[in-house]
Amino acid sequence: MESAEVVARNRRYWEALAPHRLGESIEFFEAGGSALNSDELDAVGDVRGRRVLQLACSVGDEALTFARLGAEVVAVDLAPGHLATGRAKAEALGLAVDFREQDMMALAPELTGFDLIFISWGGICWVPDLTRWAADLASRLAPGGVLVISEHHPLWEVLTVTAPMRVTGNYFAPARDGYSDPLKAPQITRELGDDIPSRSYVWSLGAVVTAVLNAGLTLRSLQEFAEPDMYADLGDQAGHLPATYLLTAVR
């Protein structure tokens, strides 16, 4: 499937979910809530006065958190419905975020010179060409700028953890049409059903690291984390497998 066709299909998929996917409430942010966890906050460092680009920002919760921390934020997503939710939240909270409807594979030329480019939680799986994507992002970082990827671990993506545990994806064949395990699909589809076509990609850690290095970036850290809730059916061993990862690379 051509990249443009993948993107068009996925825009339809995400637009269909948009009215049902609202993210954190205004009250959550007013109470001082952060959409970034402590490992992510450590990885991004002090963002005050920094230029931040968030990719696949969805309804903007992390972008709003960056803005609240004092960053100058551009947040891009394919789906206008998600961006509209993000804009409404920003307005309600009095925060400035430049939300833009953009395909992260074809960003506008002026989106460049960033101190931080951030993508998370079901973002990288929508990248159809990892090598081209990483090279493009490297060129949009200011010297010393940092790329942070905080994601579901690809091993978790290919395992279905019910008894007996099954391998329902191929770690070495990234393209995935729809989801054979509903727990890997966007959470809202567990209520709505998931019959709208989508094409996503499970990128192995090796593929991600190789793309980042080929883009000329320097790998600063690659952490893998247990998240027992994501393997709940494994009982005592739920913490024995990696569930998420956090990669930081610098230009």
Tell me how many residues contact ligand SAM (CB under 6 A).
Answer: 20
Among the candidate windows 70-78, 89-97, 208-216, 239-247, which touches ligand SAM by CB under 6 A? 70-78
**Shortest Å distance, C-beta 15 to ligand SAM:** 8
Distances (CA, A) of 235 to 126, 162, 214: 31, 11, 39
218-247 binders of ligand SAM (CB under 6 A): none
Q: In whole angstroms, what is the distance from residue 241 CA to residue 151 CA?
A: 15
Distances (CA, A) of 111 to 41, 67, 84, 150, 244: 23, 17, 20, 21, 28
CB nearer to ligand SAM: pick between 61 and 115:
61
Q: Which two tokens stand for residue 10?
A: 């996925």
**Shortest Å distance, C-beta 130 to ligand SAM:** 12
CB nearer to ligand SAM: pick between 53 and 105:
105
14 interacts with ligand SAM by CB under 6 A: yes
157-196 binders of ligand SAM (CB under 6 A): 186
- The rounded Cα 80 to chain-centroid distance in angstroms is 17
User: According to CB under 6 A, which one of 34, 65, 85, 120 is a site residue for ligand SAM?
Assistant: 120
60's torsion region: left (phi>0), alpha (psi -120 to 50) or beta?
Answer: left
CB nearer to ligand SAM: pick between 122 and 239:
122
User: According to CB under 6 A, which one of 58, 65, 85, 204 is a site residue for ligand SAM?
Assistant: 58
Helix axes 205-214 and 130-140, enclosed angle (nearest 10): 40
**Shortest Å distance, C-beta 223 to ligand SAM:** 18
User: According to CB under 6 A, which one of 86, 123, 145, 174 is a site residue for ligand SAM?
Assistant: 123
Cβ–Cβ < 8 Å for 145, 251? yes
215 interacts with ligand SAM by CB under 6 A: no
Q: Mask 85-104, x = binds ligand SAM (CB under 6 A)?
A: ------------------xx
**Shortest Å distance, C-beta 57 to ligand SAM:** 6
Instruction: Classify 194 as helix, strand or coil.
Output: coil
117 interacts with ligand SAM by CB under 6 A: no
User: According to CB under 6 A, which one of 44, 53, 78, 155 is a site residue for ligand SAM?
Assistant: 78
Cis peptide before 242 (omega within 30 of 0): no
Instruction: Spell out the residues 6+ positions from residue 5 whose beta carbon is closer than 8 angstroms to its own.
Output: none
Q: b/e string for 161-178 if b means 16 or more Cβ within 10 A?
A: beeeeeeebebeebebee
Helix (H) or strand (E) holding 161: none
Residues that bind ligand SAM (CB under 6 A): 7, 10, 14, 56, 58, 62, 76-79, 82, 103-105, 120-123, 126, 186
